Amino acid sequence: MKDTDNTHLGVKRGSGCQVKSQLQSSVPQRFWCVEDFRFTDILTPEEHEELRRYIRSVEYRAGETVYFPGDPSDTLYTLHHGRVRLAYLEESGRRLTLAIMSAGELFGEAALAGEEKRRWIAEALEDTILCMIHKDDFLRIARGNPQLALKISTLMGKRLVEIENKLEDLLFKGVHARLARTLLQLAERYGEPKADGVHIRFRLTHEELAHLIGSTRETTSLILGEFERQGLLSKQRGGITLQDLERLKQLT
């Protein structure tokens, strides 16, 4: 993991992962970090400048941990490049994936709601570049912009609903239904229409899908094979294409 300026943020080093030296000078980094910020359209020019002053970029290798449960919850992140998994980590080491974040998305926002320690683990699924800002600096900007504060609150509420729905699925739905629903959600969020269906734009391993639905890799692979034989989807090296959305919906 490498950051351009971590004196204010207190970023931890020493994860043992080798780091690529791809980041450019701090001025361009801060520019695209601000441009990536999903609520940039409601910021005033002065707030743009303040955000640019405090935001930093940091790079993680695939498999490196952004934060662990119990780490201080004092930073917000947006993704410039790559993917990050947010997961509940059991004492046994088993993970239940709550969300997969991709470019342009914001996470770590619970820091703004009084969370003192992280409850989840955040891990880079591939080589990833994040933009990060300390919660105190962000709150300083948000206090002068009620529209920004409202949008962040809305985002937090939406994420809470998504997690509650996932927990409800785990309690009351079988693995076939959970997998069908998860594939449909991924297609809605990351899908790209193709001639033969809707292609999920990034590659998910069977193990990553298993973590998303609270199952084992073996069971997930078995059901994916069933879905493929039934003509519901096709698996390619570059990902999964959903070929019959209506029949998948019926399974949920």
Residue 68, classified by CB atoms within 10 Å of its CB into exposed (0-12), middle (13-18) or buried (19+), is: middle
Model confidence over 85-97: pLDDT tens digits?
999 988 877 888 9
The CA distances from residue 175 to 73, 92, 228, in Å, are 33, 21, 16
pTM: 0.76
Give pairs for 26-30: CB < 8 Å, separation 24+.
29/4, 29/56, 29/57, 30/55, 30/56, 30/57
**Is CATH 1.10.10.10 the classification given to domain 173-251?**
yes
**pLDDT for residue 174:** 95
In single-letter form, the type of residue at position 169 comes to: D
Relative to beta strand 191-194, strand 121-124 is unpaired
The CA distances from residue 22 to 4, 59, 101, 102, in Å, are 11, 9, 21, 19
Q: With contact defined as beta carbons under 8 Å apart, do 95 and 121 qualify?
A: yes
Model confidence over 219-232: pLDDT tens digits?
999 999 999 999 99
- Delimit the domains of the chain by residue range: 2-170, 173-251
Q: With contact defined as beta carbons under 8 Å apart, do 180 and 243 qualify?
A: no
**Is CATH 3.30.465.10 the classification given to domain 2-170?**
no
1 pLDDT tier (thresholds 50, 70, 90): low
Among 163-167, 205-209, 237-241, the range of highest mean pLDDT: 205-209
**pLDDT for residue 69:** 95
Question: What is the mean pLDDT of the segment spanning 48-61?
Answer: 88
**pLDDT for residue 35:** 67
**pLDDT for residue 32:** 59
Distance of CA 142 to the CA centre of its chain: 22
**Residue 189: phi, psi to the nearest 5?**
-85, -40
Question: What is the mean pLDDT of the segment spanning 171-181?
Answer: 94
* pLDDT of 7 above 50: no
Decide if 2-170 and 173-251 have a common fold: no
